[in-house]
């Protein structure tokens, strides 16, 4: 039934989101950050998460594009919760607030270009695996 | 205890992101990035306010900040969608989405951060 499928998708995304968020929180404990310093934890989760989503979707879209819950659980849920745009944006705002403009600019560049590069590398690696 | 607050916030944030993405898809068609753009900007504004506020209870920061805002927003889907748009040869849209997310997201975070200080 369509309504059951919708409810299941939301539940699966919620569960995956919790797992991803807890993993992100664990990384932030391992790489503590004070406002205005280089945000290693956020860079780590966002770049590894971008690599992982490229790998995952390359494999998933080739092998089982119609799978009912794998993409919602792993991509929308786990990786969506593991990576964060808001922390990235506030980290950058805090660097600016601290007067560290060049570091803020470097952080935005590393996150954005690094994230896109990570997706491209993940997609290429995943496509090699399933070819 | 902090883990519980993070988990509770994420339990709401992740499905809300899906709901926004689906609402945007009904409005603009499948494959639109408007829903993710909206949650990323809104989440940046709220997180800015949470982290900018003075003397906020650490439990509130864990629940609303790390859990809810952190999970409502996403960097992996954002990055994937930019690359997907380029692969679909919609380069102008990809660049607009990339630039728009950065400008609006950073501005929202800065406004939120300054608002409650």
* Calpha distance A58→A51 (Å, rounded): 11
Q: What is the pLDDT of residue B117?
A: 78
Reported pTM: 0.96
CB-based contact B76 A83, cutoff 8 Å: yes
Residues A88, A106, single domain; the answer is no
- For A88-108, b where at least 16 C-beta lie within 10 A, e where not — what string? bbbbbbbbbbeebeebbeebb
Is the model's pLDDT at A51 over the cut of 70?
A: yes
Outline where DSSP puts E strands in chain B. Answer: none
Q: What is the pLDDT of residue B116?
A: 84
Instruction: Reduce the DSSP state of residue A84 to 3 states and report it.
Output: coil
Provide the token pair at A16: 């995956």
Rounded mean pLDDT, A114-126: 98
Residues A67, A112, single domain; the answer is no
Burial zone of B107 (CB within 10 Å; 0-12 exposed, 13-18 middle, 19+ buried): middle
Rounded mean pLDDT, B77-105: 98
Residues A93, A111, single domain; the answer is no
Residues A74, A112, single domain; the answer is no
* Calpha distance A25→B66 (Å, rounded): 7
Q: What is the largest CA-CA distance in chain B?
A: 48
Provide the token pair at B95: 């660049």
Total domain count, chain A: 2
Q: Residue B87: which residues within 8 A CB-CB, separation 6 or more?
A: none
Task: Give the minimum alpha-carbon distance from B99 to chain A in angstroms, rounded to a whole number.
Answer: 10
Answer whether A116's CB lies under 8 Å from A51's CB.
Answer: no
CB-based contact A112 B13, cutoff 8 Å: no
Residues A31, A91, single domain; the answer is yes
> What's chain B's length in residues?
117
* Structural domain of A114: 100-131
* Calpha distance B109→B87 (Å, rounded): 30
Percent of all residues in chain B with a pLDDT value above 70, rounded to a whole number: 100
Residues A68, A104, single domain; the answer is no
Residues A30, A51, single domain; the answer is yes
Residues A76, A35, single domain; the answer is yes
Q: What is the pLDDT of residues B26-73, one digit of tens each?
A: 999 999 999 999 999 999 999 999 999 988 999 999 999 999 999 999
Q: What is the pLDDT of residue A1?
A: 60
Q: Is B73 annotated as a binding residue?
A: yes
* Calpha distance B89→B80 (Å, rounded): 14
Residues A88, A29, single domain; the answer is yes
Mutate: best of A86, A105, A118, partner B, most B CBs <10 A: A86
Total domain count, chain B: 1
For residue B13, the chain A residues in CB contact (below 8 A) are 17, 21, 81
Q: Which band of pLDDT confidence, cut at 50, 70 and 90, is reported for residue A3?
A: confident
* Structural domain of B32: 1-116
Residues A66, A114, single domain; the answer is no
Residues A92, A121, single domain; the answer is no
CB-based contact A86 B80, cutoff 8 Å: no
Give the residue, A2 or B56, on which the prediction is more confident. B56
Q: What is the pLDDT of residue A131?
A: 83
Residues A14, A43, single domain; the answer is yes
Instruction: Reduce the DSSP state of residue B32 to 3 states and report it.
Output: coil
């Amino acid at each position: 039934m369509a309504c059951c499928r919708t409810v299941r998708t939301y539940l699966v995304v919620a569960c995956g989101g919790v797992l991803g968020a807890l993993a992100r929180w664990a990384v932030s404990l391992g790489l503590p950050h004070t406002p205005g310093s280089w945000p290693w934890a956020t860079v780590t989760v966002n770049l590894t998460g971008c690599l992982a989503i490229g790998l995952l979707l390359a494999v998933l879209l080739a092998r089982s594009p119609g799978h009912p819950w794998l993409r919602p659980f792993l991509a929308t849920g786990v990786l969506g919760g593991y990576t964060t745009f808001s922390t990235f944006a506030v980290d950058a705002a805090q660097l600016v607030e601290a007067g560290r403009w060049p570091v803020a600019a470097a952080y935005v560049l590393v996150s954005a270009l690094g994230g896109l590069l990570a997706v491209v590398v993940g997609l290429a690696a995943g496509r090699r695996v399933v070819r | 205890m902090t883990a519980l607050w993070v988990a509770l916030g994420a339990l709401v944030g992740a499905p809300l992101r899906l709901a926004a993405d689906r609402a945007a898809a009904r409005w603009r068609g499948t494959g639109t990035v408007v829903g993710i753009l909206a949650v990323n900007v809104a989440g940046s504004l709220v997180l800015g306010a949470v982290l900018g506020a003075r003397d906020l209870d650490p439990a509130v920061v864990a629940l609303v900040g790390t859990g809810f805002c952190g999970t409502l927003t996403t960097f992996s889907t954002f990055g994937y969608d930019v690359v997907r748009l380029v692969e679909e040869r919609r380069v102008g849209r990809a660049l607009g989405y990339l630039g728009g997310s950065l400008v609006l997201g950073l501005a929202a975070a800065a406004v939120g951060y300054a608002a409650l200080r």
